[in-house]
Chain A
Amino acid sequence: MPEMNIIQAVNDCLKVEMRRDSRVVVLGEDVGRFGGVFRATVGLQEEFGPDRCIDTPLAENGIVGCAIGMALYGLRPVAEIQFADYVYPAYDQIVNELAKMRYRSGGEYQAPVVIRMPAGGGIKGGHYHSQSPETIFIHTPGLKVVYPSNPADTKGLLAAAIRGDDPVIFMEPKRHYRTARGEVPEGEYLVPLGKAAVLHEAAGRSARSVTILAWGAMVHTALEAVEKGIGQGYDIELIDLRTLLPFDIETIVASVKKTGRAIVVHEAPRTCGFGAELAASIQERALLHLEAPILRVTGFDTPFPYALEMEYLPNRERILDAIERVTNG
Chain B
Amino acid sequence: MKFELIRVLDDAGCVLHPEWEPAIPAVELRHILQTMVQNSLLDEKLMRFQRQGRIGFYLTAWGEEATLVGPLWALRPSDWIFSCYREAGAALHRGYPLRTLLCQLYCNAEDPVRGRQLPVHHTARELNFVSVSSVVGTQIPHAVGMAMAAKLSGRDDVSLVYFGDGATSTGDFHVSCNIAAVRKAPCLFFCRNNGWAISTPRSVQTATPTLAQKAVAYGMPAVLVDGNDVLALAHVTAGAAARARRGEGPTLIEALTYRRGAHTSSDDPTAYRDPDEPREWECRDPIRRFRAYLEGKGLWNADEERAFVQRCEQEFAALVAEVESLPSKSPLATMFDDVYAERPWHLDEQFVELDREVRRHRA
Residues of A within 8 A of B (CB): 29-30, 33-35, 37, 55, 57-59, 61-62, 85-86, 88-89, 124-129, 270-271, 300-303, 305-308, 311-312, 317-318, 321
The reply to whether A301 and B198 contact each other, CB–CB distance below 8 Å, is no
B360 touches A317 (CB 8 A): yes
Query: What chain A residues lie within 8 Å of B172 (beta carbons)?
Result: 89
Given A33-B199, A89-B170, A311-B354, also A303-B115 (CB < 8 A): no
Whether the pair A303, B134 counts as a contact (CB closer than 8 A) is no
Shortest distance in angstroms between A42's beta carbon and chain B's nearest beta carbon? 9
B120-146 interface code vs A (CB 8 A; 1 in, 0 out): 010000000000011111000000000
Q: Is B118's CB under 8 angstroms from A125's CB?
A: yes
Sample 21 A-B pairs with CB under 8 A, ordered by A number.
Answer: A29-B198, A37-B267, A55-B200, A57-B200, A58-B166, A58-B197, A58-B205, A59-B169, A61-B171, A86-B136, A89-B170, A89-B171, A300-B335, A300-B347, A300-B350, A303-B116, A306-B118, A307-B114, A307-B116, A308-B335, A317-B361
Measured in the bound complex, the distance between the Cα atoms of B115 and A57 in whole Å is 32
How distant is the Cα of A197 from the Cα of B206 in the complex, in angstroms? 45
The reply to whether B200 and A126 contact each other, CB–CB distance below 8 Å, is no
Contact A34 B136 (CB under 8 A): no
Is the beta-carbon distance between A307 and B107 smaller than 8 angstroms? Answer: yes
Tell which of B57, B137, B170, B357 touches A124, judged by Cβ atoms closer than 8 Å.
B57
Question: Shortest CB–CB separation between residue A126 and chain B, in angstroms?
Answer: 3
In the assembled complex, how far is the CB of residue A66 from the closest CB belonging to chain B, in whole angstroms?
Answer: 13
A308 to B172, CA, bound (A): 31
Residues in A whose Cβ lies below 8 Å from that of B354: 300, 311
CB <8 Å contact, A307 and B336: no
Q: How far is the CA of A88 from the CA of B137 in the complex (A)?
A: 12
> B102 to nearest A CB, angstroms?
14
Contacts of A59 in B (CB 8 A): 169-171
Contact of A302 among B134, B336, B358, B362 (CB under 8 A): B336
- Contact status of A34 and B329, CB under 8 A, knowing A57-B205, A59-B171: no
**B216 interfacial contact with A, CB 8 Å:** no
Please give 14 more A-B residue pairs, beta carbons under 8 A apart, in addition to A55-B204, A88-B135, A300-B336: A29-B198, A30-B199, A37-B198, A58-B169, A59-B170, A124-B118, A301-B339, A306-B56, A307-B108, A307-B111, A308-B329, A311-B354, A317-B357, A317-B360
Q: Is B34 an interface residue (CB 8 A)?
A: no
Inter-chain contacts of B121 with A (CB < 8 A): 126
Tell me the smallest distance from the CB of A58 to a CB of chain B, in Å. 4
Do A306 and B107 touch (CB < 8 A)? yes
A129 touches B118 (CB 8 A): yes
Q: Which of B56, B137, B358 has the most CB of A within 10 A?
A: B56
Does B346 interact with chain A (Cβ within 8 Å)? yes
Shortest distance in angstroms between A109's beta carbon and chain B's nearest beta carbon? 24
